[in-house]
Amino acid sequence: MTQTDARGLAVSTPHARSIEQYEAALHLLNGYYGDPLAAIDAVLAEDPGFAMGHALRAALMVTSGDGTVAPLLRESVEAGEALHAHANDRERRHIGAARAWLDGRFDRAVQQYGEIAMDYPRDLLAIQVAHIGDFLLGQSSMLRDRIAQVLPHWNADMAGYGYLLGMHAFGLEEMQMYARAEDTGRRAVARNPHDPWALHAVAHVMEMQGRASEGAAWLDARRADWSEDNMLAVHNWWHLALFQLEADHVDAVLTLFDQHIRRPAPAIALDLVDASALLWRLHLRGADVGDRWRAVADDWLGRGAAGYYAFNDVHAIMAALGADRPEAATALRAALLQAAQSEGTNAMMSRDVGLPVADALLAFAQADYATAIDLLLPVRLVAHRFGGSHAQRDVIGLTLIEAALRAGRPSLARALTAERADLKMAHAAHAPHGTVPMSPALHTLVRRAETCRASPASSHRPKAAH
């Protein structure tokens, strides 16, 4: 007798208990709750021939975007491949997609997960892995379209429908469809207040529209829903810190960092990215962060995963520079170069974005702002190629603006701050309550640009590092 999962898809195990436990583990993954790895490992200990269990375990490693879990991914892929003769078509394709990721063909893996979702549009695991894969690869349009492709096959009574809405909300936000994104995200949260991805999608909308006070209130009022026992907790604390930073509440930002964003080593890669990005934003402002960089840099440098994913490597370089460890930053840059000269998706990500951003950060740290400008101006146009969201990649634009200000490039500084102000205010015009006033942080940048004076050395522009 063929067993089926909660959405009617065939599963090649005779054990109903395995499917029940699989659904519980999938629910943890959908909401980033608890420990889905321990949950699925418990299933596989009882039913080692459960192919979809190995597929879910592999998916956990793929969606982490973290090179340190490659050995665990290999275990899952090889265990799944050994079950090829007993698995059904969908299960074999899941394992094949995970194999592509293991082999460094990230783009091919995401494409394959997406193809599974097209053929089996109620496969929530394939949908979520493809969605996170699109995020890791910076494929903004597919963050929206991947979900749009399967939505007609779902209805509100299906298990996991709310999570699907949350994913759609984030994809709409990344495509700057802010009104629809916010409405969809709020509907997802209304269905399930404990959906941190949907909560974070609405926070993204408010970040992009310059609605800092509303964004802070949105997250503050729902802390109990996203801040405990959740892999996205640090990321949502980071969003709350960005809202506080936009309001120039630096002390509040440092408190959030100390209490919620800094994590004991070894932290997951996403948490280290957020810690590094927040401290770098404070660094750009000239804020005193004390010795906070040290622990973040120690964690990055002790991982041994440099060269796996360029987005992570760039944030590791921020931490090394912030901790005043130029030799470590140079070693990380060397790993990026080696990755750029190899094969696979990360080679492109490292070559097109990782290396020029890394070199710009190194130049910025050496007060060679002209070189930083020369590198960042062109790369910001293709920065999506190494993954992340608009909010995460904004650190590149902020570094460019600060470099222009420090280099004494008034025309460039004024152009960039005018562009930023227009973007925020244009987006805010579509906010539910009308135009939002310019934030204190943006107002400071605009004022600094207006008073910027040309440096005598600004006409001397060193060649970009290679």
Instruction: Encode pLDDT of 366-419 as tens digits.
Output: 999 999 999 999 999 999 999 999 999 999 999 999 999 999 999 999 999 999
> Is residue 147 situated within a structural domain?
yes
Q: What span, in angstroms and rounded, lies between the C-alpha atoms of 22 and 50?
A: 10
Q: What span, in angstroms and rounded, lies between the C-alpha atoms of 3 and 16?
A: 7
> Is residue 342 situated within a structural domain?
yes
pLDDT at 459: 45
> At which of 128, 159, 190 does a domain end?
159
> At which of 124, 159, 194 does a domain end?
159
Q: What span, in angstroms and rounded, lies between the C-alpha atoms of 50 and 55?
A: 9
> Is residue 340 situated within a structural domain?
yes
> Is residue 183 situated within a structural domain?
no
Q: How does the average pLDDT of the chain come out, rounded?
A: 95
391's CB contacts (< 8 A; 6+ apart) are 204, 207, 208, 239, 242
> Is residue 208 situated within a structural domain?
no
The pTM of the full predicted model, rounded to 2 decimals, is 0.94
> Is residue 185 situated within a structural domain?
no
User: pLDDT per residue over 61-70, tens digit each?
Assistant: 999 999 999 9
- Residues 273 and 151 reside in one and the same domain: no
User: pLDDT per residue over 410-453, tens digit each?
Assistant: 999 999 999 999 888 756 666 666 666 789 999 999 999 999 99
> Is residue 461 situated within a structural domain?
yes
pLDDT at 434: 61
CATH of the domain at 45: 1.25.40
Q: What three-state secondary structure class fits 4?
A: strand
> Is the CA virtual torsion 417, 420, 421, 422 positive or negative?
positive
65's CB contacts (< 8 A; 6+ apart) are 132, 136, 269, 270, 309, 311, 312, 387
> Is residue 248 situated within a structural domain?
no
- Residues 291 and 154 reside in one and the same domain: no
**Neighbouring C-beta atoms of residue 74, cutoff 10 Å:** 15
Whether 460 has a pLDDT exceeding 50, the answer reads: no
Residue owning tokens 């592509």 = 100
Q: What three-state secondary structure class fits 269?
A: helix
- Residues 285 and 400 reside in one and the same domain: yes
For 103, the domain range is 1-159
> At which of 159, 178, 200 does a domain end?
159
- Residues 145 and 293 reside in one and the same domain: no
Looking at the structure of the chain, the number of domains it has is: 2
Q: What span, in angstroms and rounded, lies between the C-alpha atoms of 300 and 1?
A: 49
Going by C-alpha positions, the residue among 205, 185, 168 that lies closest to residue 427 is: 205
Distances (CA, A) of 355 to 106, 119, 450, 461: 19, 38, 32, 19
- Residues 322 and 458 reside in one and the same domain: yes
